[in-house]
Amino acid sequence: MIAIVDYKMGNLASVKKALAALHYDAIITSDPGVIGSADGVILPGVGAFAPAMANLKAAGLDVAVKQACASGKPFLGICLGMQLLFDGSEEGAGEGSLIEGLGIIPGTVKKFPADATTGNGLKVPQMGWNSLTDCRGSIFNDGDYVYFVHSFYCDPADETVSAAKTEYGIRYCCAVEKDNIFATQFHPEKSGEVGLAILAKFARRTRS
C-alpha cells in the first residue's frame, strides 16, 4: 500500500486515481502511523511553501515524512512536495532569507530570474509541457514530455542528486533521486502515458 500524505495542500485525488489506473492500492492519509507502515510514500502538493510547511508541522507530518525518507522505503515528492524536501525556499521570505524546509535534500528553492524569463517573453508561473534532458535517474528518460505548473525551481547543493533537467529561461533541475528518494517538479499524474510510466517505475519499487 502506498500512502499519499494529506497536509491540505495537495493534488491528492489525481495522484490516487493515477495509481489506481496502474493497479496499485493507495490511501490518502494524515495519520503518521499509516505513513510509517506503508510500503511507499508520496508527498504531492500544490500551493505556497510557507503554509505547506506550517500544515506539515501542525499535524506532525514533518516528522513522519523525515522518518519515511530515512526508512529506505520508496518515497516520491511531486511539485511542491519536491520543493519541501529542500533546506529552504525564497518563496514568501524576505530578501536574503529563506523559509525553512524539511532539509532532506541539501539546496534551496529559488524564484525564476526575471531577466531569464520575463526578459525573454516567458511568463511565470511556468505552465505547460516541457521535455526532460540530462536524465540520470532510474525512473526518467531523456525526451519525456511532462506537465509543469510552478513559479519557483529547486537548486540542489549536490549536482549528483539531479535526475533530470528542463529549460525555461534557464536550465534547471526538475527531478532528483537520492537512494530511496525521488522527486519531480512536474506532475507525473497529469502527464499522460509518460507520467503514468514514471509513476509505475516508482510504484514497482514498493513491491520489491
Average pLDDT over residues 106-126: 92
Inform me whether the pLDDT recorded for 107 exceeds 90: yes
Predicted confidence (pLDDT) per residue in 47-75, tens digit: 999 999 999 999 999 999 999 999 999 99
Which position among 69, 135, 177, 187 bears the catalytic label?
187
Domains and CATH numbers, the chain: 2-207 (3.40.50.880)
d(CA 13, CA 73): 22
137 vs 194, which has greater pLDDT? Answer: 194
Which position among 69, 79, 135, 154 bears the catalytic label?
79
Half-sphere exposure of 53 (CA within 13 A, CB side): 18
Which conformational region is residue 179 in: left (phi greater than 0), alpha (psi within -120 to 50 degrees), or beta?
left
d(CA 83, CA 76): 12
| Range with lowest mean pLDDT among 27-36, 108-117, 151-160 | 108-117
CA-based Rg of the chain, rounded to a whole angstrom? 16
The pLDDT of residue 11 is 83
pTM of the model: 0.96
- The grid coordinates of residue 12 equal 491528492
Collapsing DSSP states into helix, strand and coil, what is residue 143? Answer: coil
Active-site residue flag, 150:
no
Predicted confidence (pLDDT) per residue in 168-195, tens digit: 999 999 999 999 999 999 999 999 999 9
d(CA 114, CA 39): 42
Q: What is the dihedral of CA 34, 36, 41, 44, to 10 degrees?
A: 70
Active-site residue flag, 189:
yes
Which position among 100, 174, 189, 193 bears the catalytic label?
189
Q: pLDDT category, 136, cuts 50, 70, 90?
A: very high
Inform me whether the pLDDT recorded for 96 exceeds 90: no
Phi, psi of 65 (to 5 degrees): -65, -45
The pLDDT of residue 119 is 84
Per the listing, cell 489506481 goes with 20
Average pLDDT over residues 37-46: 96
Active-site residue flag, 135:
no
Please, are residues 175 and 164 in contact by the beta-carbon 8 Å criterion? Answer: yes
Please, are residues 139 and 200 in contact by the beta-carbon 8 Å criterion? Answer: no
The pLDDT of residue 124 is 93
